[in-house]
Amino acid sequence: MSMPFYVSPEQQMKDRADFARKGIARGRSVVAVQYAQGILFASENPSQALHKVSEIYDRIAFAAVGRYNEFESLRIAGVRLADMRGFSYDRRDVTGRSLANAYAQTLGAIFSSGGEKPYEVEIFVGEIGTEPGADQIFRLTYDGQVFDEHRYAVMGGAADVVGTYLEEHYVEGADLATALRTAVAALGHSRDERGQDSDREIAVGQLEVAVLDRTRTQPRKFRRLRAAQLEDLLATR
Amino acid sequence: MGDQHLDPTGARLPGAYLTPGSSSFAEFVAAQAPDLLPGRRPVPAAAAGGDIAPHGTTIVSLTFPGGVLMAGDRRATMGNIISSRDIEKVFPADEHSCVGIAGTAGLAVEMVRLFQLELEHYEKIEGTTLSMQGKANRLAALIRGNLGLAMQGLAVVPLFAGYDLDAGLGRIFSYDVVGGRSEETGFHAVGSGSLFARGSLKKLYRPDLDARRAALVALQALYDAADDDSATGGPDVSRRIFPIVHVITADGGERLPEGEVTTLAEEVVAGRVLRPDGPPARVEDPTGREATTGGTTEGDLR
């Protein structure tokens, strides 16, 4: 009779974390940038149909990197949770914080339960308030940790490099065009082996951009920016 | 399921939320929290009688080239009592459609809320909007869910209208209490004053109206309904309460601003002072050709 190998809990968690991290690092980055009128989400995504950024509720958006099937099921769960809450109480009672909590609990439980494969995803839950000070970006990792991000946030493959660029170039209270240019430049930023900048220009057709826009008159503040709009915005200086 | 749906925070998302399945919110609620659905609550066996809850009254809708509009009076009644003078009975369902309600107001408003959410939920999950017929069919399904209550005398009869982006025109759908749906051509009215409103629409409607004159026709029809039906409210000049008018074109829908409706309603009222029965139809011109080519002035509709 063979004895199963003993694996220490520390090792087990480390293995699971490595597994999830590797999966996430394979994909392109997603950035969220706060600007004067709301929050902008941008990502390099050649697909027009499979979104990384989506609407959850009036003032709440969702962005994710990693395995599509896993974050898609989280997205749908978020839409269901938000709609259910808004239907039983009121639209104002749906908050990004409670959604982030539900995601954190779910991801945490899946990560630490032995029976399930950890999710290879990282998530943003963004929510805008009536003024910029009330805007929030939560970043959730594969193990259920929640980070309350300010000004900008990055996740996915080249998060470090993209984050460095944003750290240097982020402008507080920028308008939409400036925020978009910063975000797109950050996504295309990279360094070669010698540490020199070797930035790429990302074509408009390869971008997926959406905003939570406070100035929209409709209660639903989420809006996708199509290729034509992106071109216009990127052209303005 | 208990009250799990009310507070899933602080706990892992229930398995059903993460399970792939229907894009319909109503179906999801039916499985997860059926007690939240209007038609799913147990009702006593005895008939409720006519006037335990406020009833909404008259809704009219008509198409015009490039769009459709819907208007509703502001009265709700309970038997012989006016229970509300400023109730709203026309709601946007989504960007390109709207729904007006007649019947038991409380249930109808709840049904509208569910219907709005149904369309939004589908849009968010699928990333695209339902077709016009798809929307109309979903509303029929919701009405069917209310059949038990309708049999108790708590019926809800909506009118659904919207701009069909595929076909490029405004369309109107009417329903009966069992959820039977039929598409109407040109114009339609529902509610207690609908007989009079429809008669009025029949005489005033022309397929070539512009949005402004279509709104005038709708207000004239509501005036005629209020004139002969005690449950329909006319323009309340002293309290400044006027009908709600929702206009939908290819660019989307909007509720006509209060100022604009006030001006139109005052025009109608001023016309009725001169001729209480409203604008006359022309008997000597059965085709209406003369009216459309030669003499269509706004004065015709006043």
Q: What percent of chain A has pLDDT over 90?
A: 70
Q: Where are the alpha helices (DSSP H) in chain B?
A: 15-18, 25-32, 105-126, 132-144, 147-151, 194-204, 211-228, 258-274, 289
> What would the pLDDT profile of A156-171 be if each residue is shown by its tens digit?
888 888 999 999 999 9
Task: Give the integer Cα–Cα distance in Å for A47 and A207.
Answer: 9
Task: Give the integer Cα–Cα distance in Å for B298 and B40.
Answer: 49
Set out the domains of chain A in order of their start, with CATH numbers.
29-235 (3.60.20.10)
Contacts of B91 (CB under 8 A, 6+ apart): B98, B99, B100, B101, B112, B116, B246
Asked whether the beta carbons of residue B11 and residue A51 sit closer than 8 angstroms, the reply is: no
> Is residue B197 within 8 Å of residue B221, measured between CB atoms?
yes
- Predicted pLDDT at B302: 54
Residue B9 at interface with chain A, using a CB cutoff of 8 Å: yes
- Predicted pLDDT at A211: 96
Neighbours of B282 (CB within 10 A): 14
Partner residue opposite A84 with nearest CB, options B29, B125, B127: B29
Residue B9 designated active-site:
no
Amino acid at A20: A
- Predicted pLDDT at B38: 72
- Predicted pLDDT at A199: 80
Contacts of B18 in chain A (CB under 8 A): 73-74, 76-77, 106
Asked whether the beta carbons of residue B13 and residue A77 sit closer than 8 angstroms, the reply is: yes
> Is residue A24 within 8 Å of residue A4, measured between CB atoms?
no
- Contacts of residues B236-243 at CB distance under 8 Å and 24 or more positions apart, as own/partner, are B236/B74, B236/B85, B237/B266, B237/B269, B239/B85, B239/B86, B241/B74, B241/B85, B241/B86, B242/B74, B243/B71, B243/B72, B243/B73, B243/B74, B243/B218, B243/B219
Q: How, if at all, do strands B97-104 and B55-56 pair?
A: antiparallel
- Predicted pLDDT at B79: 87
| CATH number assigned to the domain covering B53-280 | 3.60.20.10
Residue B18 at interface with chain A, using a CB cutoff of 8 Å: yes
- Size of chain B in residues: 302
Beta-bridge partners for A146 = A140
Give me the phi and psi of A87, to 5 degrees please: -75, -40
Neighbours of A6 (CB within 10 A): 6
Q: Where are the alpha helices (DSSP H) in chain A?
A: 9-25, 68-88, 96-112, 159-169, 176-187, 227-235
- Predicted pLDDT at B46: 63
Q: Which of A142, A139, A75 is nearest to A109 (CA)?
A: A142
Amino acid at B177: V
> Is residue A63 within 8 Å of residue B5, measured between CB atoms?
no
Catalytic residue among B9, B57, B58, B263: B57
Ordered per-residue pLDDT tens for chain B, 302 residues: 444 555 555 678 888 888 887 889 988 988 888 888 876 666 666 665 556 778 878 999 999 999 999 999 999 999 889 999 999 999 999 999 999 999 888 889 999 999 999 999 999 999 999 999 999 999 999 999 888 888 877 888 999 999 999 999 999 999 998 889 999 999 999 999 999 999 999 999 999 999 999 999 999 999 999 999 999 999 999 999 999 999 999 999 999 999 999 999 999 999 999 999 999 888 876 665 555 444 444 445 55
Asked whether the beta carbons of residue B125 and residue A79 sit closer than 8 angstroms, the reply is: yes
Question: Residue A179 pLDDT more than 90?
Answer: yes
Task: Give the integer Cα–Cα distance in Å for B153 and A150.
Answer: 56
DSSP run (H or E) holding B130: none
Partner residue opposite B9 with nearest CB, options A98, A109, A220: A98
Q: How, if at all, do strands A53-57 and A60-66 pair?
A: antiparallel
Asked whether the beta carbons of residue A88 and residue B33 sit closer than 8 angstroms, the reply is: yes
> Is residue A60 within 8 Å of residue A96, measured between CB atoms?
yes
Task: Give the integer Cα–Cα distance in Å for A52 and A157.
Answer: 14
Mutation pick from B4, B17, B115 vs chain A, by most beta carbons of A within 10 Å, is B17
- Predicted pLDDT at B48: 56
Neighbours of A98 (CB within 10 A): 19
Task: Give the integer Cα–Cα distance in Å for B22 and B30.
Answer: 11
- Predicted pLDDT at B3: 45
- Predicted pLDDT at A197: 75
> Is residue A100 within 8 Å of residue A63, measured between CB atoms?
no
Residue-wise DSSP of A15-42:
HHHHHHHHHHHTSPPEEEEEETTEEEEE
- Predicted pLDDT at B271: 95
Work out the average pLDDT over A1-10: 80
Question: Residue A204 pLDDT more than 80?
Answer: yes
Q: Which of B60, B3, B99, B44 is nearest to B229 (CA)?
A: B60
Asked whether the beta carbons of residue B8 and residue A86 sit closer than 8 angstroms, the reply is: no
Contacts of A33 (CB under 8 A, 6+ apart): A39, A40, A41, A42, A151, A152, A166, A170, A179, A182, A183
> Is residue B103 within 8 Å of residue B156, measured between CB atoms?
yes
